[in-house]
Structure 1
């Protein structure tokens, strides 16, 4: 792999030692590849032994703009010297501009700032229920939200209550009621599930953890029409799919759909600080009253300063265009592998799900072979690997990535 010339060094002592400390001290809620990252720049990371890897996960799209992006680092450093945290007990001079420009970027009116993606989802659920009771007139305590099979919206107790991933759900009950799950991509099933107590439909426009599953092109427009006709909110979880990843600002733009609420996170913090947000219009976000919802760190000056710079970078359209153009190049390369160890390729922009032929090996095995060759990727659901490199990746690096995947698959044949 271009740039990974230090692979093949004779010792892994530093890596083994670092992993041993982690294994002894950390709860085992992840099963990471045996790489210990020490530094990073652009689309590349370097481990404790000096080996370089092309990062094709980008922290699940949190690093869309590359590691150590100079504009984002400059915004963070400037704010570090001024003030980093005030809590929302007071105003700060970064939060207003951040909210105003983020709302404008998405054609909405208001922003509810939070920290993590899961917090944004939880906030969206609370908003939908409050709207249902206070605006739609749903019976007290009866609000229902429709979700999709195969969803991934986070790992809080409420969110895993409507997950069908038993690895994320098992042994964490009792579960939160109020959710109805229907097949993803089936607008007829979704419409049939709506009743007088339904307050919202919560969907990923493209399902990420499920393997970058793209629904039929008519699905989201139909969901938007049905929800509008039935007086139900449409909430789009764009935490992984949004902010340039799919070649547009948010992936709903691919089919010209505007939901009532956008849920954003990950890349909104530029890979520097956790930043998330619910973005919508006043008729929905305006239902919140002071004291009903909050976060000590949500909307803090440092997060707002970094988020504001992210919004301004996206406002130029440069990153969206780049993800679209390079994504087309990546897709062409990957589709040539169908029938040669790959059974299917799905995705949009620089976000791809690749199904590995089970006769060749598992997704984890392919990711391990990629790692040995200087590429970091992540498997999901056994046979699928996901590719989501930083948008700053180059054309040559895209081509090398495809060549490296060919070699990794050939290794397992």
Structure 2
């Protein structure tokens, strides 16, 4: 492979410097990859991943303004810039010190005028990605297919009222699964950005849900057919771009999977910014998914509660990361999932070094959250208080309720034992 120009010249590999001063921003002050906590290295608890779309395809454009981020890797023809972008990304991953990245199929390679051309483009670019992975040891945390941006998907993909659009989406996912196998992806994500409705008056909800379930079943069968060894994930979101999306929140997705018999094939990729859009607290869907054994991975970002839309900001709140990592530790880790920074620098952050500063800050925030979570678990204070709160379920009638053997008749008997006499006497 020909040598490539350095895109982040002057920026060395980011080091752990815990005693660095406040003005030293190009170093980790809390994230120490090799530090062992509860028998596992910090990097293994956190499993950080950089997302391709925001960090290397993002332009800073928004609904009210034109692009502001003019990146050196976006020069040349679409295929030339795709190759430059890939080299820039791996230089960034290496200097930042992360071991994983994530991408949509259309982030990696430009879409062609036909499916065949799109697939050829993807094959050519992922050949380069495979070489770079081999050279650096960096892996794919997950692959996903962009089934929402193209105009063909304006009415959805797996839930589209036109079966030919659904068929195109199926062909795109087929290729995506093949690419996931080629690159050794540890997970594959489905995000139903347009799987929902704007108006109930022209929507057959039952039909759309059934079609989406059958779409997932086709993906499961093809995954097994080609011998792809990865975890399937579904990412919930309540709205944007649809008024209502079927994958509204963790419980909606879990209910859907159980209803259609898919729960053994899927887990959830939780994005906390989506969770807050659903009206929940930051950690809510992470806790709920984990409670049901369905937490597979986390898109580690945040939003601004005063704005009320999906802003994809880097997480900088230690309270939030502490609660996330406490849940992760209690379920034994996220593997094969991880903490993927589905976040973007603000459109005003035009300097290349801002990409590093944003990721460094977020990684340090999660490192602090991890240390806090370890202390909470090891001192046992909160755990003991929770255990005491439910102590009545450890014996007698409570134990029967716990193991599912209690009856309503026994409930009545227990009530009279505790509170004998009439209601007035109570």
- TM-based fold match above 0.5: no
Q: Which has the higher contact order (CA 8 A, sep 6+)?
A: 1
From the two aligned structures, give the one with the greater strand fraction.
Answer: 1
Taking structure 2 as the reference length, the TM-score comes to 0.30
Taking structure 1 as the reference length, the TM-score comes to 0.30
